[in-house]
């Protein structure tokens, strides 16, 4: 399942000016249309979650024999192209898994229906989810466009054999600290885990940074303006936030705390501890980790299954390092299901969305040990299910329990912000521009809101 950059990550495939010309009016009453029976088309992008949601659909049909849910799955890029094309052609799914990087523009272009009237009518509680998740789906207009289905945080996946050979312990990995001056014990561990083609480690005399066999830390893109799996855990633990609140009209990429963090992060490439952007482009982080190219890889909880079942590799998971503010950090991202305003039977759609957001479905999702459901009982089931498979996911949950997570930026102009920051961050992480150029990029971003 691909979520990264996600939060400010990928540009909509079609011009929003075209999207805005189609679809219905985004009013609460529109979400009550239809007979409440028939077939519902439901789309998602993560193939790993298809089985558990098919189980939810089967259970839902058993309780609602007059409603059938037809699931369809598409890869991340194709998914959003099909959704936005469907808005224009009238072939969009009735209900679809929505993302925080997309829904603000879907609200602006009146393509998804608010759920407030249905929530009030049916007495659905919105305080049953992990704290903060429900807030993400209340738009600037004060209306709610989704109910949380799951959440994710970031952890540090590590190759157990490499860690053992380096003489590092799990306890040490769990307590690593970083700073923007010398990188702290975190950078020391990364350097020690880096090995060149001659067997020299990154912290040994004679290390050849031009011929590295295994990098201490992996790289999977520049992170654009969000860096969910790349650098957001560092910037947040240095006291920085992309925006000061949800639906803000100002970004903070010119903040010295942000720029000093990115400068430190890019220095790992210069030192040979992390691959260059050019050398890592086209090779996914999971693939490179599985090939033994990376000792550590910062990745999302949604990739736990993929990274812990790699052939020939024993994988452990550590929490993100503690930063200068004395705490570790992770983005607290969450998905929801949205109803397309063009659906002909939104009464049935609402029944399905309400079920997806209930413990009845989320407990099924938790038992599948793929992602963490938004309702705490489902989260507990997921933790237990992972444990039964021999996978310790404490690293992903410690920040939720310790309340050290940070909410992602949710604003208008997400695709334009991504376009600007993708180019700017590619240049900085790619080594062709100084970190100070992010101030000009920040000015471009903030000009979008004037």
Instruction: State the pLDDT at residue 90.
Output: 96
**CB-based contact 332:403 (threshold 8 Å):** no
pLDDT tens for the 450 residues of the chain, in order: 444 443 333 333 333 333 333 333 333 444 445 667 799 999 999 999 999 999 999 999 999 999 999 999 999 889 999 999 999 999 999 999 999 989 999 999 999 999 999 999 999 999 999 998 999 999 999 999 999 999 999 999 999 999 999 999 999 999 999 999 999 999 999 999 999 999 999 999 999 999 999 999 999 999 999 999 999 999 999 999 999 999 999 999 999 999 999 999 999 999 999 999 998 877 789 999 999 999 999 999 999 999 999 999 999 999 999 999 999 999 998 999 999 999 999 999 999 999 999 999 999 999 999 999 999 999 999 999 999 999 999 999 998 999 999 988 999 998 899 999 999 999 999 999 999 999 999 999 999 999
Could you please report the per-residue DSSP string of 14-63?
S-HHHHTTSS----GGGGG-S-S-EEEEEEES-GGGHHHHHHHHHHHHHH
**CB-based contact 36:351 (threshold 8 Å):** yes
User: Whole-angstrom Cα distance, residue 208 to residue 204?
Assistant: 10
* pTM of this prediction exceeds 0.75: yes
Could you please report the per-residue DSSP string of 128-144?
SSSTTTGGGGB-TTS-B
Whole-number Cα distances in Å, 111 to 71, 83, 84, 238, 338: 20, 10, 9, 37, 10
Instruction: State the pLDDT at residue 383.
Output: 96
Instruction: State the pLDDT at residue 35.
Output: 63
- Strand intervals (E) in 74-120: 95-98
Q: What are the structure tokens assigned to 229, written together?
A: 């799996």
Instruction: State the pLDDT at residue 23.
Output: 38
- If phi > 0 it is left, if psi is from -120 to 50 it is alpha, else beta; for residue 413 that is left
- Strand intervals (E) in 250-380: 294-300, 315-319, 330-331, 333-339, 372-373
Instruction: State the pLDDT at residue 34.
Output: 64
Task: Name, in order, each residue with C-beta under 8 angstroms of 131's C-beta and a sequence gap of 6 or more.
Answer: 403
User: Whole-angstrom Cα distance, residue 23 to residue 7?
Assistant: 24
Instruction: State the pLDDT at residue 281.
Output: 78
Q: What are the structure tokens assigned to 21, written together?
A: 């010309």
């Amino acid at each position: 399942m691909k979520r990264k950059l996600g939060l400010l990550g990928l540009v909509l495939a079609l011009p929003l000016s075209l999207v805005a010309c189609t679809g219905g009016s985004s009013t609460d009453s529109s979400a009550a249309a239809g007979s409440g029976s028939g077939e519902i088309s439901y789309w998602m992008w993560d193939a790993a979650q298809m089985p558990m949601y098919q189980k939810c659909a089967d259970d839902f049909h058993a309780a609602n024999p007059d409603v059938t849910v037809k699931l369809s799955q598409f890869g991340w890029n194709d998914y959003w192209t099909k959704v936005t094309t469907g808005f224009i052609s009238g072939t969009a799914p009735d209900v679809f898994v929505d993302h925080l990087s997309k829904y603000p523009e879907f609200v602006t272009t009146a393509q998804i229906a608010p759920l407030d009237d249905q929530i009030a009518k049916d007495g659905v509680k919105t305080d049953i989810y992990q704290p903060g998740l429900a807030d993400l789906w209340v738009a600037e207009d004060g209306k709610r466009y989704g109910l949380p289905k799951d959440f994710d945080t970031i952890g540090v996946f590590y190759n157990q054999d490499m860690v053992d050979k380096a003489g590092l312990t799990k306890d040490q990995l769990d307590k690593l600290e970083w700073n923007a001056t010398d990188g702290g014990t975190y950078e020391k561990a990364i350097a020690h885990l880096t090995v060149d083609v001659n067997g020299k480690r990154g912290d040994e005399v004679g290390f050849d940074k031009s011929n590295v066999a295994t990098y201490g830390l992996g790289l999977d893109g520049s992170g654009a303006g969000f860096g969910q799996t790349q650098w957001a855990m560092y910037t947040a633990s240095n006291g920085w936030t992309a925006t000061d609140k949800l639906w803000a009209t100002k970004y903070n990429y010119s903040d010295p705390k942000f720029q000093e963090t990115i400068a430190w992060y890019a220095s790992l490439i210069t030192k040979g501890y992390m691959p260059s952007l050019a050398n890592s482009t086209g090779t996914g982080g999971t693939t490179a980790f599985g090939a033994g190219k990376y000792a550590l890889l910062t990745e999302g909880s949604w990739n736990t299954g993929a990274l812990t079942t790699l052939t020939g590799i024993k994988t452990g998971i550590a929490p993100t390092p503690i930063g200068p503010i004395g705490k570790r950090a992770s983005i607290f991202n969450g998905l929801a299901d949205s109803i397309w305003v063009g659906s002909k039977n939104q009464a049935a759609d609402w029944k399905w969305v309400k079920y997806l957001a209930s413990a009845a479905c989320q407990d099924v999702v938790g038992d599948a040990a793929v992602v963490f459901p938004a309702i705490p009982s489902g989260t507990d089931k997921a933790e237990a299910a992972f444990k039964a498979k021999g996978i310790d996911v404490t690293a992903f949950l410690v920040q939720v329990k310790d309340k050290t997570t940070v909410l992602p930026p949710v604003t208008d102009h997400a695709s334009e912000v991504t376009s600007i920051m993708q180019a700017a961050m590619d240049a900085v992480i790619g080594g062709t521009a100084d970190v100070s150029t992010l101030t000009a990029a920040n000015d471009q971003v903030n000009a979008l809101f004037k």
